[in-house]
Structure 1
Amino acid sequence: MLRRLGWYARRLAVMERGEIRHRIHEQIARRAARRENGGWVQFAMPGARPVPLPLFAPLLTGDLSAPVAAQLAIAAEAFRSGKLRLLNRDWPQTILDGAGSVAPEVWTLDPVSGTSWPGADVSAFDIDFRFEGGHRDVKYVAEANRLHFLAAPAIHARHTEDATLAHAVLGSLFSWMRANPPGRGVNWYSGIEAGYRLASLASIVTALDPWIDGAAGEKLASFVAAHGTWLARFPSLFSSANNHLVAEAMGLVLAARLLPDHPHATGWLTQGRGHLDGRTCALFHEDGVGQEQSPAYAAFTLEMLLIGFAAIGADAPSPAARERLGKAAAALNAFLDDEGHVPLIGDDDQSRVLLAHGSAEPRYAASICAATAGFLQRPELAPAIRDPHWRDIVFAAPPPGPAPSDGTTTFPQGGYTIRRGDIAGRRVHFTFDHGPLGFGALAAHGHADALSVWLSLDGRPVLVDAGTYLYHSEGENRRRFRVTAVHNTLTISGASQSEPSGPFNWMPRRARARLEKGADSVPLDVSGSHDGYRKRFGVIHRRDIAETAYGFDITDRLTGATPDGEVEIVFLLAPDLVVTAHDGRVTARRDGRAEITLAAPEGACVEIIRGDDISGRGFHSPGFGVLEEAATVLFRAPANAMRWRSSIVLNPVT
């Protein structure tokens, strides 16, 4: 109870007056919804059926490329065999019933604990997953209930004219409806999940239209009507108006297009379109960087926007939103290294709207850049390398573009400087963070990583982020993976620049970072600062980065009062690197070959930490729910020295 009250108090602390009024009205509406249990019949539309969407029609005409056809076949075979793997986790048993469709009990199953979340006997608003006593992460059950794993088998069924597979997929939708009546159970707790389901349903019913008879059509129409009504009734506004509102807007547009004769279709379309246009400019800085300060979330948000705008049709988006989409794709391209991967910055829960097979898609951001290039008909935005995916067909993605130009790119509003090119005979992709904590009052998916650095060499990660790991089920680990101590920057006496106040909240006093000096120049010469230590220690942290012939010199300075205690300058190395220290120098080797050497500041102590459960250091999470041991290098020195210089020395390939 105390945890719950504390969470609400901290949440209220960042709300403006208008949001407080909105939350009061929202709670009144939720209280009314708790008493409702009318089932699907209250959304029945006799004689109606969802309309196949032109958005997905290109998937059904002509031959598929061999890689995409194989992708769909693998997904179909996994479904037929009853196997489900999402978020790096295998569901513990066959998911199918005797008829070959997903069994109803699967929809509430937590695959980690093997227990079930509350279902149809409980209102969605009576399930407080944030303070769930069983230490389960609701993200897992939510992922399966997005229904996106059914889309690829449905498309495969259409191409192979496999009626048995088609009916098994349709049966799975009806199984979901039996287990999840409107407003009941864990799977109605969040609008983002409802928006996702409508995207999945839209692709499925378009693919399986030949097998949808009148009775099936009426059932699916009630599915769409219930979801559209729910999304319009409970929008994520004010401090919640991040990617959640984009998903809801996408869902409203899809509901309107799937059921154009529904009495509220015009209102859904108007509401959804307004939010899509508005959120495009709100969630991406003027320079194109995602305001949630996470390349993964930028890609995920772009995918939802593309689906929503494509469903609206030829006159969408607005000119301002169209321009911002182009800038967003260009910025995301800049984060891609030579192998088409983005660094893990901020949260990454591996969310994808259009799913191929499983959640793993290492070049997801590159695929979304290509999709945006196709949607905008701007082939110059296509990345140089990406993996084939059926979304390429949906958005008419152009062929791979040229390799990005070498040089330095600075995003002044988004707060990143990226250096790409050759240094010491190595292909370098180096990122420096001098940007804000995250989006809006919550900054829900940002990390306290101001002035951090990331590095890949020859397309392979070297200096990495700790990652995300889990959301709700690991309270202390959720905090540890967000605070400054696990990021590649400087800490004072273990303090974090910004302090979390919940899984997706921060205390009001937050670090404000800024670019002090920098230009799109080669060699790199950039400086940034933040004030996250001013309140507690009376200092500003400034970091200067200068490119050298052999790598980078990093100078950290504190200005202001002379603090007590120690500073720690942190570098987290990729898990596959073997890390050793000798005489103030740390060498990281991969496959027996030295990749980089880190030179400690004069007089600093050197420590290497691996897998420390107490501090949370020495871990890297490459994907949701995955934890790997890695080497955290600490350079520790007295804080009153006020200035320290470290060096990153790149080892040439011999």
Structure 2
Amino acid sequence: MRVTVSFRSNLFPRTLEESAKALAAGRPEDWWHGARERGLFSLFRLQRQLGSRWLSRSFTEQDTAASSFCRSAYPVLPPLSWHVDLDAASVDALLSGRLSVFGFPWHWTADGSCWHQAPDTGQTWPRRFFPGIPVDRGNPYGDARLVWEPSRLQHLVTLGLIAQKADPAVRARAVAAVETQFLSWVAANPLLIGVHYVSPMECALRLLASCYALDLIRPWMQEPRAVWGALLTLVSGHAELIRKRLALRSPIPHETLAGAAALVHAGSLFTELEQAERWLAFGLYLLEDNTPRHISQDGGSQEQGLGYLRFSSDLYGLLVALFDHQQRPLPEKIRQAFDRSRAFLHEFRAAADDRLPPIGDGDGETALAPSLRFRTPARKPASGLTTFHLSGYSIIRGRGAQRAIFDHGPLGMPPRYAHGHADALSMILQIGSQDLLIDPGTYTYLGDEAWRTYFRGTRGHNTVTVDGLDQAVPQGALTWSQPFDTHLVYREETPEGKVTVIARHYGYKERLGVVHLRGISYDTSGSWMIWDWLTGSGTHHLELNWHVGCRVVPVDEGYRLEGLEQPLLLTIEGGTSRLYEGSLQPMAGWKSSRYGNKEPITTIRVEHRGPLPHEFMTRIRLI
């Protein structure tokens, strides 16, 4: 039997051939995890054939009356901090059942077919036992991440927030939209049938969003009996599926955290359900056991992605808010992880508009809704140099709101390094809200292989590529092998405000015998110097890429960077430079502002072929 699983968990083998490859690659944990999942799926299939009560249970009016969550006349969940900034057209679209799913249109339909229609291809995802649905690259339906987005039901939370602030007529439309869409999702997706059960994380996010959305519209609900019965059906089925899947220990930290948060909510809000105590206990166990994997001691993410760190931080925030609201004790390590992650993210947010740079993989992930805002620490980021030694980042803040982020951290979380990018020693430079040197982003997980390779590879970052190879060896769409080691060599901040940071990585040493050393120096005049020194033996093709977020104009001395209050001059020594914008051959000059979308930018590519050692020298200064 061939079993295909979620791309969030597809890192373990699914066939005998893949099992052999996993063992040959030194990943016996992949083989063991895959074998256990296949066994669990076989059990699910048997339970379906035998008509298991877990899979077929329906809830009566008596059940909803016995549920403290369902019968309450007042909100049960804690009040959260929201920032809903929607124009009239966006509100009307939501009220009419229309969404933009990563740039693709989606529209709710009363027959429920919308939940299975792929926004990107228009194909219909099959409604069959979920382990047999292929979601990996090359499947005939599309990118599973896109069809999952509306089925997270997080837009229902936004509709609930609209209902709270709107006039009675708009509120009635918002409440009706929440109820009808929620009921149609439950009716169109019986437990274990369809693509929406492939990923336990998707189930977890749907459970959380459903509870919060319905709690928000509780006072104005129009069909309470049907809605509460459907909610009990969803919670009981989803929570038990999450528990069974995560009992196998998911290799993805943020997937485990989302599942744990959902189990804790299900267990503490629906205490009358027979498995509630088990859900709560297992959810708390997962949190305490896995928290060190989620948040490092310096507040960063071991997955090396700021988007997933924000996602994890918000999940911790939901748990802290829930336990405080219920006046129940919370393990101190959970609260500390939340505080550390907020402080870390605060250092990386752009001062002008609160954005996070798109470091590492990101797919627009939100714990509950895009409008959720947990308060950040009320302190101004320190000037000068801040280094996060465990996560491997140095932030240099200079005059005129200049800020550089230097990545000297690891590839990601072993043993798979999923969601990490091959971006050792890359640099981002910002002035206020203007991005000068940028991280191009993610674009896709399972779409076109060439685009996936470009955006997560070394060429798609502001660093040096050797002989056209990435700093690590890609293994499929998400994983890497032969990860690079990094070493922070030197850091100094003088009393006068000059900052120097030097680091090296060894990603090319084993394969090519090449070591890359980069030094970044900032002078109080507002000038930057980036020195790249490559050592080793033999002749190599070296390629330095600078991905630029503003207008680039060639001048005699180098390149003029425009669109700022005061233009900058960028000069590069050590090779022959050329500009690329939206190029396909070679692939260069692209960024992805959001998952599934790409747009042209200017990339300055500097190339040199010759013996080592060799150096590149890049200078950026005010004109």
Q: Flag whether TM exceeds 0.5 (same fold).
A: yes
Q: Which AA in structure 2 matches 1:569?
A: L
- Cα pair distance change 1:18/1:174, threshold 3 Å: same
Aligned runs of 1:556-635 on 2, under 5 Å? 556-559=532-535, 561-574=536-549, 577-583=550-556, 585-590=558-563, 595-602=567-574, 604-635=575-606
Give the match's secondary structure for 1:527. Answer: strand
The residue aligned with 1:405 is 382
The residue aligned with 2:284 is 273
The residue aligned with 2:409 is 435
Pairing partner for 1:485 from 431, 455, 459: 459
Residue 524 of structure 1, CA deviation: 1.5
Aligned runs of 1:380-399 on 2, under 5 Å? 381=377
Instruction: Name the CA distance, whole Å, in 2 between partners of 1:615 and 1:308.
Output: 47
Instruction: Name the CA distance, whole Å, in 2 between partners of 1:71 and 1:354.
Output: 17
Greater Cα shift, 462-471 or 17-26:
17-26
The residue aligned with 2:312 is 301
With CA pairs under 8 Å and 6+ residues apart, which has the higher RCO, 1 or 2?
1
Aligned runs of 1:322-471 on 2, under 5 Å? 322-339=335-352, 340-355=354-369, 367-368=373-374, 370=375, 373=376, 381=377, 401-422=378-399, 426-471=400-445
| CA RMSD after TM alignment | 2.8
Residue 294 of structure 1, CA deviation: 1.3
Q: Which AA in structure 1 matches 2:296?
A: H
Q: Which AA in structure 1 matches 2:95?
A: R
Residues 118 and 141 in structure 2, CA contact (< 8 A), matched pair in contact too:
no
The residue aligned with 2:531 is 555
Give the match's secondary structure for 2:156. Answer: helix
Instruction: Name the CA distance, whole Å, in 2 between partners of 1:645 and 1:596.
Output: 19
Residues 316 and 337 in structure 2, CA contact (< 8 A), matched pair in contact too:
no
Q: Which AA in structure 1 matches 2:387?
A: T
Residues 72 and 156 in structure 1, CA contact (< 8 A), matched pair in contact too:
no
Deviations 1:55-102 (A, max 9, x none): 63537xxxx99x74x6497765322223211323322xx4243xxxxx
Residues 40 and 223 in structure 1, CA contact (< 8 A), matched pair in contact too:
no
Deviations 1:145-164 (A, max 9, x none): 00011112123335555445
Residue 531 of structure 1, CA deviation: 0.7
Q: Which AA in structure 2 matches 1:536?
A: R
The residue aligned with 1:187 is 196
Residue 489 of structure 1, CA deviation: 0.5
Residue 280 of structure 1, CA deviation: 2.8
Instruction: Name the CA distance, whole Å, in 1 between partners of 2:568 and 2:21.
Output: 43
Q: Which runs of 5+ in 2 are unaligned?
A: 3-12
Greater Cα shift, 74-83 or 480-489:
74-83
Residue 331 of structure 1, CA deviation: 1.1
Instruction: Name the CA distance, whole Å, in 2 between partners of 1:309 and 1:605.
Output: 54
Residues 78 and 321 in structure 2, CA contact (< 8 A), matched pair in contact too:
no
Instruction: Name the CA distance, whole Å, in 2 between partners of 1:648 and 1:34.
Output: 62
The residue aligned with 2:241 is 230
Give the match's secondary structure for 1:346. Answer: coil
For the pair 1:117 / 2:125, whether they are aligned, the reply is yes
- Cα pair distance change 1:8/1:630, threshold 3 Å: farther
For the pair 1:540 / 2:540, whether they are aligned, the reply is no
For the pair 1:651 / 2:622, whether they are aligned, the reply is yes
Instruction: Name the CA distance, whole Å, in 2 between partners of 1:89 and 1:165.
Output: 22
The residue aligned with 1:398 is none
For the pair 1:310 / 2:321, whether they are aligned, the reply is yes
Residue 4 of structure 1, CA deviation: 7.8
Q: Which AA in structure 1 matches 2:531?
A: T
- Cα pair distance change 1:7/1:620, threshold 3 Å: farther
Instruction: Name the CA distance, whole Å, in 1 between partners of 2:141 and 2:527.
Output: 44
- Cα pair distance change 1:478/1:408, threshold 3 Å: same
- Cα pair distance change 1:596/1:524, threshold 3 Å: same
Instruction: Name the CA distance, whole Å, in 1 between partners of 2:493 and 2:393.
Output: 11
- Cα pair distance change 1:72/1:647, threshold 3 Å: closer
Deviations 1:486-536 (A, max 9, x none): 2101111111111211111112x1111121112566422111111101112
Residue 588 of structure 1, CA deviation: 2.1
Instruction: Name the CA distance, whole Å, in 2 between partners of 1:634 and 1:334.
Output: 30
Q: Which AA in structure 1 matches 2:606?
A: F
Instruction: Name the CA distance, whole Å, in 1 between partners of 2:261 and 2:380.
Output: 32
The residue aligned with 1:283 is 294
The residue aligned with 1:42 is 56
Residue 581 of structure 1, CA deviation: 3.0
Q: Which AA in structure 2 matches 1:306?
A: G
Residue 606 of structure 1, CA deviation: 1.0
Give the match's secondary structure for 2:387. Answer: strand
Instruction: Name the CA distance, whole Å, in 2 between partners of 1:302 and 1:55.
Output: 22
The size of the alignment, in residue pairs, is 590
- Cα pair distance change 1:581/1:216, threshold 3 Å: closer
Pairing partner for 2:212 from 203, 208, 217: 203
Instruction: Name the CA distance, whole Å, in 2 between partners of 1:567 and 1:449.
Output: 15
Q: Percent identity?
A: 26
For the pair 1:90 / 2:125, whether they are aligned, the reply is no
Give the structure-1-normalised TM-score.
0.84
Aligned runs of 1:497-512 on 2, under 5 Å? 497-507=471-481, 509-512=482-485
Residues 582 and 589 in structure 2, CA contact (< 8 A), matched pair in contact too:
yes
Give the match's secondary structure for 2:452. Answer: helix
